[in-house]
Structures are given as C-alpha cells and as structure tokens.
Amino acid sequence: MLATKPSERLSMFTRALENNPQENVTTTTNIKMRVQNLNFYYGTFRAIADVTMDIPENRITAIIGSSGCGKSTLLRTLNRMGELVAHTRTQGTVLLDGENIYDRNMDVVLVRRRVGMVFQRPNPFPKPIFDNVAYGPRLLGVRGQELEQIVEQSLRDAALWDEVKDKLHESGLALSGGQQQRLCVARAIAIKPEVILMDEPCAALDPIATYKIEELMLTLRSAYTIVIVTHNMQQAARVSDFTAFMNMNPQRAGVLVEFGPTKQIFTNPTKPETEDYITGRFG
C-alpha cells in the first residue's frame, strides 16, 4: 500500500515519534564515537564513501537507508568487524573517546571488548544459557560467585532473567528466536562494553519479540551508547534519538546524506533525498 501524499505518509510516524522520549536530544552529551572521512573498500569496490558523523554518548543512533547502501558495512567498521572479510580495506578514522581505533597501536581485541555487537540473526553459541552469557567475562578472568552475579545481572538487564532462571543449563539454542536475541544482548552487555552496535537486531523476529528488544534498548540507553541499523523506519522513529540517513551515490558507494535528531529527520528533513525516502517516493 502506498501513501498518496507525502504529508499522509509523514503522519504514519507521528505516533511512533510521540512514543519516543525525545528529551534526550536537547540535553547535551559527550561525543562517544567520531567517524571521520571513512571509506571502506571490498577489493577495488568502494562500499562506503567519505562518511563523517558523530555518535553521542548514552543515546540511540539509528542508521537508516535502502538495502545495499552500506548501513551494515558502516556499522561493522565501528568495531573493526569489517576487516574479517578478505580483501577489504578501511580508510579514514573512527575515534572512540578521542582515540583512533584504526591506529596501528590500537589492539583490535580491546576495541571489540569496548564496542560490543548484536547481530541480525541471533547467534548464541551451542552451549548452555549460562555459558553463553559467561563467555565474555570468563575471557576477562571472572570466576565463581562474581561470574554468577554478572550473568544474573546481564540476563536481568536484557529482560530475560525471569524466563530462563530455571533453565540456565539448557542450551541457548533451545530458546525462541526473540529470547535468543535477548540472550545475545545479555551476552554482549555482560562484559560491560561502552558502545553496543545492533545490526538489524529485529530482522528475524516477530512483532512481540521486536517490541521487547525495543523496550530493552530504551532501558539500556542510560548506561550504553547504542548504534542500530534498521530497515524499519517505524522502529527508528520509535526508539532512536538521532538518525543517520544513508544512500548510494552514482558509483553505488554508500554516503551519509543527512544526520540529525530523529524528530527532525522524520518531520523536517533538510535534504530532498531524505524526504523522498521517508515519504516512500523512493526505495
């Protein structure tokens, strides 16, 4: 179903935006991550072109855009997961608290320990629920009672504790898709990262599970900096404080078109491309 007029289409986001506690946007905050002139190449193909954006601390930043425009690729440059694919190259800088994570002296393992990630499809380890959450803390040397406390707290923070407290020793794969994804969130926050990247975390989930994840993001916001890639513009309007709109340039490289407070992007975009996308005239 297509909206006939742009204004009608815009109104589709009104409720979503009303549900979004926007007060966060007006209060000032630190810049947690700063992407500067970032280019990313698969072989000779440039997938990301000259992206510059600031990611504010303790806020939810959504990255939206049509499929294939490099949203996920950009997200994966923020904790250097992009370099896992062979024949890729990253150019430019990504500052985390002012330090360039692509600096030669920067340890990629430490970067990822500080910048956690939740993936598109739930990917729990085929291990007990407890061991899934305990994996990260164990790497850091946590043992015994302290570990149990961390696991419990992480599962509580991920709003999963009540559902799994009696079956911590069952496989993580035995959970439903939505529960698995919350388990992955719990696993990610168990090492207390500073930033959590979420790559379309609800893409494989039903609406109820999606709702729970969104609730979760809103509660986690006060303690973490969250960056979420989403296809679902309603979702971006519901949960995010800031929105980045990406698009493809004529060379099919992803560029950042517009970045700003979510309300402004959805109701009063400055670039015609953004408006076209938001109103459904495009993509």
Residues in the site for other proteins, rule: CB under 8 A? Answer: 79, 81, 84, 86, 97, 107, 109-110, 112-114, 116-117, 119, 121, 123-127, 135-137, 139-142, 146, 150, 153, 156-157, 184, 187-189, 191-192, 194, 219-220, 222-224
| Angle in degrees, CA 228, 103, 196, rounded to 5 | 20
| Angle in degrees, CA 119, 175, 240, rounded to 5 | 40
Report the nearest approach of other proteins to the CB of residue 222 (Å).
4
Report the nearest approach of other proteins to the CB of residue 266 (Å).
27
Say how far apart CA 32 and CA 34 lie, in whole Å.
Answer: 7
Question: What single letter denotes the amino acid at residue 231?
Answer: H
| Angle in degrees, CA 183, 188, 194, rounded to 5 | 145
Buried b (16+ CB within 10 A) or exposed e, 21-33: eeebbeeeeeebb
- Residue 27 or 251: the one with the smaller Cβ distance to other proteins is 27
Report the nearest approach of other proteins to the CB of residue 143 (Å).
9
Report the nearest approach of other proteins to the CB of residue 140 (Å).
5
Report the nearest approach of other proteins to the CB of residue 64 (Å).
22
In a 3-state reduction of DSSP, which class is residue 196? strand
Report the nearest approach of other proteins to the CB of residue 136 (Å).
4
Residue that the structure tokens 């049509």 belong to: 66
- Residue 69 or 184: the one with the smaller Cβ distance to other proteins is 184
- Residue 62 or 117: the one with the smaller Cβ distance to other proteins is 117
Report the nearest approach of other proteins to the CB of residue 114 (Å).
5
- Residue 107 or 170: the one with the smaller Cβ distance to other proteins is 107
- Residue 2 or 84: the one with the smaller Cβ distance to other proteins is 84
Beta-bridge partner residues of 99: 96
Buried b (16+ CB within 10 A) or exposed e, 52-73: ebbbbebbbbbbbbeeebbbbb
- Residue 126 or 272: the one with the smaller Cβ distance to other proteins is 126
- Residue 1 or 109: the one with the smaller Cβ distance to other proteins is 109
Q: Which candidate, 148, 149, 203, places its Cα nearest to that of 181?
A: 203
In a 3-state reduction of DSSP, which class is residue 50? strand
Let me know: does 280 contact 2? Beta carbons within 8 Å. Answer: yes
